[in-house]
Amino acid sequence: MAMGKLDGRDNDFLTIEPTESAEDRYVLISAAEAGGSPVGRHQLRIRPRLDGLMHSLLHDVDAPAVDALLTAVDEVMNSNTLLLKVRADEPITPGNRLSVLEAFVHGPLFPDMMRAADRARDWDNLQSGPLVPRATTLKLTELGRAGFRARLSWMLRTAFSPYRRHLDAAHADKVIDEFLDWLDHDRPAADGEGWSCWSVHPDFLYLTGYYSDQPPQSDAAYFDAGPNDTATYLHRGDILTLLLTNGSP
């Protein structure tokens, strides 16, 4: 991280004004904000600052192959499946893949896109409340291309299906093949680069309370804390997609 200068204090967080590139934008978060007790500056946490780095490509996902996949997953898993697509202002690399995703999830564009995607799917489940706890950090596990396909197959053929609507192998393969073909040919990378595929631990959005018999944590809660919660992060060049599923009995 580049050295920066403190540009002010606002209650329990400090903002560092970067002295180098846009990727060195950070916010320091106190333990009080993270749910603990007020502490000294040496115990402040750090995460990327989040302004103006992302551009919505939600219109790209208005495609038959995408709708077919999302609808099939909805029906099998009893999910409110959403696919978001974004352009970053810099290439996404192994060195910045986590910080770019955290910048998106914690930034102002994410809730707008979530609500727009929710309305486009005719769910209208996400109301005006917060979606993401402010101190949330993201945890990634590599899937690879084969692992991503296996995850899609799991969603359609073997995931928990309250109404027993699993697809047969041929139907599932057709839906997956057409979606992956769309993914590969929509805004292809100039250098032929393939997608990097990652699982995001699905604990970064507020919970609905379905599996805990607790009230929703927000009127814009998404994850159910059940077996069908997933988040899948793909990136190629300066493009990222985020595929989200939930599912309740």
- Calpha distance 25→30 (Å, rounded): 17
CB half-sphere exposure, 73, CA atoms < 13 A: 28
Beta carbons within 10 angstroms of residue 123's beta carbon: 14
Q: Which residue type does 210 have?
A: Y
Beta bridge mates, 223: 207
Instruction: Point out the least confidently predicted range of 10-14, 65-69, 168-172, 223-227.
Output: 10-14
Q: Which helix (H) or strand (E) holds 146?
A: helix 144-157
pLDDT tens sequence across 218-243? 999 999 999 999 999 999 999 999 99
Q: Which is higher by pLDDT, 112 or 49? A: 112
Residue 129 pLDDT > 70, yes or no?
A: yes
The distance in angstroms from the start CA to the end CA of the chain is 45
pLDDT attached to residue 178? 98
- Calpha distance 180→149 (Å, rounded): 8
Mean per-residue pLDDT, 18-30: 35
pLDDT attached to residue 124? 94
Q: pLDDT band at residue 31, thresholds of 50, 70 and 90?
A: very low
Q: Which is higher by pLDDT, 65 or 186? A: 65
Residue 22 pLDDT > 70, yes or no?
A: no
Percent of the chain at pLDDT above 90? 73
Q: Which helix (H) or strand (E) holds 97?
A: helix 97-106
Q: Where are the domains of the chain?
A: 4-48, 54-245
pLDDT tens sequence across 157-216? 999 999 999 999 999 999 999 999 999 998 787 777 899 999 999 999 999 999 988 999
Q: pLDDT band at residue 69, thresholds of 50, 70 and 90?
A: very high
Residue 10 pLDDT > 90, yes or no?
A: no
